[in-house]
Amino acid sequence: MVFSKSTKNRLKIFSLVTIATSLIFFFIYNNLQKNVVYFYAPQDIKNLTDTPSNKIRLGGLVKEGSLKKNNNIYFFIITDLKNEIFVEYNGLLPNLFIEGKSAVIEGVLKDKKYFIASTILAKHDENYMPPEVANSLKKNKLNK
């Protein structure tokens, strides 16, 4: 392709600016990865050197069979299938908070194994299907 001289110049300037900005964004992104975490998985909390005293979010699967209720206070375990964290929560559970599904929990760590929740958000996955299909999938799993 034949471009005029001024077009070539603009292309040059543009590519220089693009390279410069993408480098800047690359560094910003790398730092963001380290500093801005929306939620911690149980493994991340295990790897922390000290227990943060401020509000954090914890995310993972609600362990099946772990949800218990005592005097309006819920107790359950959040797991990433390797590490488990015990959670205490006083409040209403969202409809989609189900054992075996994931959730994001806001609150403070009492210690590395015990989390006091103030808000619970249910996280749902990318699977959408009618109830009949879900039931037959479940049956197939049990038969195996």
Sequence-distant (≥ 6) Cβ neighbours of residue 136 within 8 angstroms: none
CA distance 76 to 78: 7
CA distance 61 to 53: 23
Neighbours of 107 (CB within 10 A): 18
Q: CB nearer to other proteins: give 4 or 54.
A: 4
Question: What secondary structure letter does DSSP report for 108?
Answer: E
In angstroms, give the least distance from the CB of 100 to other proteins: 11
Strands, E assignment, 51-101: 56-62, 68-70, 73-79, 84-90
Residues contributing to the site for other proteins (CB under 8 A): 1-4, 7, 10-11, 14, 21, 25, 37-41, 59, 94-98, 101, 104, 119-135
Q: CB nearer to other proteins: give 77 or 117.
A: 117
Q: CB nearer to other proteins: give 10 or 110.
A: 10
In angstroms, give the least distance from the CB of 63 to other proteins: 18
Q: CB nearer to other proteins: give 60 or 77.
A: 60
In angstroms, give the least distance from the CB of 43 to other proteins: 12
In angstroms, give the least distance from the CB of 56 to other proteins: 12
